């Protein structure tokens, strides 16, 4: 924004609340959750959902664990009305789930809404009218505060009259001063209290006051001040469920909600992944999993988050961004070498320690939660590009392909792989990493190769005799040697024909996890007479042959 443009903007006024208490509070329990995906979320879609899609979405929300679901605006259109009727008439609403409908404080719309909900077991009737100075001036043509308050009172009275007309339905009453976020606090309280005085809730039959952050104008701390101030100034506070409905214009929808809960709110309205008008609503997935990460039970089950995301994308035709908290494809992925190394060490250590302590507290660098708890896999955590390091490459080879490289082999393999990624200018797939590892470090025979090999154990055990046919730069010859094991005997055989200019400094072997045609892997480290040190790997169904191939690979790499 250009400096000359700034003159049209003003700071949002602070709230006078010198004795605020919310900064010292902690979130210790989950709020009442209400999904507004089928109303607020649906109206924000470029292509709204069909009735059939909304029915499937409703079932998904029920499966996740929502007990309050706003299903729409049944007085707005026949589609909305018919969706409400199908839920009721087809007995699709579980007994422990309450549907919520939204309606403006206009008499024809309120009467139509009561027609829509007749026969339901329990319904929240949510009425609202705009209250902010901007709305009063622009939308309602300089309407007075008194006339706006009267709209709320008249709507509340009509709702109260209509409740007895559907005696089979338990009606819970909810009022929102729409655009609360930029309404004067004293007027917000005045209008809400006028509605409370009409409805006369009790501790046994509470009503909901919903305070929508319809447009985010300010920072989350001021929003929290507003919520705490309202909580102190509402009539019959012990009979009120104080509800939040945050939007995300400033990118702080989750933060504003968390601070609003600290400020005394009891209930939260939001959507899966934050879909909503403009920059969206509160992302309930993020908020709930934030609570889970602190050990707080929420009543919502996101253990199958990947499946939930795929269904959501199908219903809404929206894509979840790759960096969306918890749900995005890349949020549990590390490309940085130092991050990869720390994650690998953390996971390895946790695997070891959790065997002795199954209730071990979660603690892995860079991972706020265990990805497996939301249906993600460890295999996707570390991915390789030119910024990756030795630990990440080793992790992928281990977890994806079953090759447990010796630690001192990590740097040379890691550098080779991420140099290759740099050449390509992109991320390498796990299969490309395996292929590159094999192409350069496994079973190399560009100079020396073993054609035939026979190991003869000497009587009495201990020493073995090695007979081998080798090919050196296309020329075949037979060699023999003795040693205290297969590798040592083969080294002595090479020495008899002048091919030993090294010493073996390390040897490791293991079974390849998930291997089929190659079930054993071996790693041999050689130190050349000129002090160069190199690793080679061998893969073969025979553990002995895998070891020889690893030695031959290292010998070839030294050339």
Residue whose tokens read 């009022």: 175
Mean pLDDT, range 200-223, rounded to an integer: 97
Predicted pLDDT at 515: 52
The answer to whether residues 554 and 443 touch, using CB atoms and an 8 Å cutoff, is no
Confidence of residue 499 (pLDDT cuts 50, 70, 90): very high
Is residue 261 pLDDT above 60, yes or no?
yes
Q: In the chain, where are the structural domains located?
A: 29-316, 337-440, 448-558
Is residue 516 pLDDT above 60, yes or no?
no
The answer to whether residues 401 and 393 touch, using CB atoms and an 8 Å cutoff, is no
Predicted pLDDT at 514: 64
Predicted pLDDT at 290: 97
Per-residue CA distances from 415 to 246, 385, 439, 491, 550 (Å): 47, 11, 15, 29, 20
Predicted pLDDT at 518: 57
For the stretch 541-555, pLDDT in tens is: 988 889 999 999 999
User: What whole-number distance in Å separates Cα of residue 419 and Cα of residue 387?
Assistant: 9
SS3 of the chain: helix, strand, coil, percent, to 5: 45, 20, 35
Predicted pLDDT at 428: 84
For the stretch 297-339, pLDDT in tens is: 999 999 999 999 999 999 999 999 989 999 998 888 777 767 8
The answer to whether residues 505 and 499 touch, using CB atoms and an 8 Å cutoff, is no
DSSP letters for 100-149: EEEEES-HHHHHHHHHHHTT-SEEEEEEEEE-SHHHHHHTTTS--HHHHH
Is residue 380 pLDDT above 80, yes or no?
no
Predicted pLDDT at 544: 87
Predicted pLDDT at 1: 86
At the second CATH level, the architecture of 337-440 is: Orthogonal Bundle (1.10)
Predicted pLDDT at 379: 58
The answer to whether residues 367 and 342 touch, using CB atoms and an 8 Å cutoff, is no
The answer to whether residues 370 and 362 touch, using CB atoms and an 8 Å cutoff, is yes
Helical spans, DSSP H, in 332-405: 337-356, 390-401
Percent above pLDDT 70 for the chain: 96
**Dihedral-angle region of residue 413 (phi above 0 means left; psi in -120 to 50 means alpha; beta otherwise):** alpha
CATH for 29-316 (3.20.20.70, 3.40.50.300, 2.60.40.10, 3.90.79.10): 3.20.20.70
Predicted pLDDT at 288: 98
For the stretch 150-203, pLDDT in tens is: 999 999 999 999 999 999 999 999 999 999 999 999 999 999 999 999 999 999
Predicted pLDDT at 384: 62
User: What rounded mean pLDDT belongs to the chain?
Assistant: 92
For the stretch 123-141, pLDDT in tens is: 999 999 999 999 999 988 8
Residues 6 or more apart in contact with residue 68 via CB below 8 angstroms: 32, 33, 34, 35, 97, 98, 99, 100, 124
Mean pLDDT, range 83-109, rounded to an integer: 97
Residue whose tokens read 């042959």: 545
User: What whole-number distance in Å separates Cα of residue 254 and Cα of residue 424?
Assistant: 39
Q: Is 476 exposed, middle or buried (0-12, 13-18, 19+ CB in 10 A)?
A: exposed
CATH superfamily of 448-558: Alpha-isopropylmalate synthase LeuA, regulatory domain (3.30.160.270)
Mean pLDDT, range 416-429, rounded to an integer: 85
User: What whole-number distance in Å separates Cα of residue 65 and Cα of residue 288?
Assistant: 12
Is residue 406 pLDDT above 60, yes or no?
yes
Percent above pLDDT 90 for the chain: 69
Mean pLDDT, range 463-474, rounded to an integer: 89
Predicted pLDDT at 513: 76
Mean pLDDT, range 40-52, rounded to an integer: 93
Is residue 377 pLDDT above 80, yes or no?
no
Considering only CA atoms, which of 515, 554, 517, 558 is closest in space to residue 538? 554
Predicted pLDDT at 387: 63
For 260-375, strand residue ranges (E) read: 267-270
Is residue 517 pLDDT above 60, yes or no?
no
User: What phi and psi, each to the nearest 5 degrees, are found at residue 535?
Assistant: -105, 145
Residue whose tokens read 């309602």: 140
The answer to whether residues 521 and 509 touch, using CB atoms and an 8 Å cutoff, is yes
User: What whole-number distance in Å separates Cα of residue 38 and Cα of residue 49?
Assistant: 9
Mean pLDDT, range 4-28, rounded to an integer: 93
The answer to whether residues 116 and 84 touch, using CB atoms and an 8 Å cutoff, is yes
Mean pLDDT, range 490-506, rounded to an integer: 91
For 2-137, strand residue ranges (E) read: 32-35, 68-72, 98-104, 122-130
Predicted pLDDT at 294: 96
Is 29-316's fold the same as 448-558's?
A: no
Mean pLDDT, range 10-22, rounded to an integer: 93
Mean pLDDT, range 369-383, rounded to an integer: 78
Predicted pLDDT at 358: 84
- The pTM for the full model equals 0.75
């Amino acid at each position: 924004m250009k400096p000359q443009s700034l003159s049209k903007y003003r700071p949002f006024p602070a709230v006078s609340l010198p004795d605020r208490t919310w900064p010292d509070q902690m979130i210790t329990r989950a709020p009442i959750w209400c999904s507004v995906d089928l109303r607020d979320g649906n109206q924000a879609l470029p292509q709204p959902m069909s009735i059939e899609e909304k029915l499937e979405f409703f079932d998904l929300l029920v499966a996740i664990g929502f007990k309050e679901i706003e299903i729409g605006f049944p007085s707005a259109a026949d589609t909305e009305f018919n969706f409400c009727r199908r839920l009721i008439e087809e007995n699709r609403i579980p007994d422990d789930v309450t549907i919520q409908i939204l309606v403006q404080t206009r008499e024809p719309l309120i009467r139509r809404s009561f027609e829509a909900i007749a026969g339901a077991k329990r319904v929240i009737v949510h009425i609202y009218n705009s209250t902010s100075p901007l709305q009063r001036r622009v939308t309602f043509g300089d309407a007075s505060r008194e006339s706006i308050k009267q709209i709320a009172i008249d709507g509340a009275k009509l709702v109260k009259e209509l409740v007895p007309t559907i005696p089979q339905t338990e009606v819970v009453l909810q009022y929102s001063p729409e655009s609360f976020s930029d309404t004067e606090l004293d007027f917000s309280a005045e209008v809400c209290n006028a509605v409370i005085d009409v409805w006369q809730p009790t501790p046994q039959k509470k009503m909901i006051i919903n305070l929508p952050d319809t447009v985010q104008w300010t920072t989350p701390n001021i929003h929290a001040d507003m919520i705490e101030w309202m909580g102190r100034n509402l009539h019959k506070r012990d009979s009120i469920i104080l509800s939040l409905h945050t939007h995300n214009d400033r990118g702080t929808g989750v933060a504003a909600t968390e601070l609003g809960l600290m400020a005394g709110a009891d209930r939260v309205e939001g959507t899966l992944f934050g879909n909503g008008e403009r920059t969206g609503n509160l992302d309930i997935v993020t908020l709930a999993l934030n609570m889970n990460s602190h050990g707080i039970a929420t009543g919502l089950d996101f253990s199958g988050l990947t499946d939930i995301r795929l269904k959501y994308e199908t219903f809404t035709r929206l894509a979840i961004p790759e960096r969306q908290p918890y749900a995005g494809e890349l949020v549990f992925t590390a490309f940085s070498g130092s991050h990869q190394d720390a994650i690998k060490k953390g996971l390895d250590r946790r695997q070891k320690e959790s065997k002795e302590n199954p209730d071990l507290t979660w603690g892995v660098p860079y991972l706020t939660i265990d990805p497996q708890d939301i249906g993600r896999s460890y295999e996707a955590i570390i991915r390789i590009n030119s910024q990756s390091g030795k630990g990440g490459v080793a992790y992928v080879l281990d977890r994806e392909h079953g090759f447990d490289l010796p630690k001192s082999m990590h740097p040379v393999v890691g550098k080779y792989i991420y140099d290759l990624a740099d050449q390509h200018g992109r991320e390498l797939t796990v299969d490309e990493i395996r292929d590159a590892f094999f192409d350069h470090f496994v079973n190399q025979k560009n100079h020396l190769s073993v054609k035939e090999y026979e190991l003869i154990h000497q009587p009495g055990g201990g020493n073995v005799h090695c007979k081998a046919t080798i090919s050196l730069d296309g020329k075949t010859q037979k060699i023999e040697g003795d040693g205290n094991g297969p590798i040592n005997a083969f080294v002595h055989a090479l020495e008899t024909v002048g091919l030993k200019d090294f010493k073996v400094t390390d040897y490791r072997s293991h079974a390849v996890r998930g291997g089929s045609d190659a079930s054993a892997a071996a790693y041999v480290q050689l130190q050349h007479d000129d002090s160069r040190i190199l690793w080679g790997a061998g893969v073969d169904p025979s553990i002995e042959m895998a070891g020889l191939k690893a030695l031959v690979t290292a010998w070839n790499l030294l050339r």
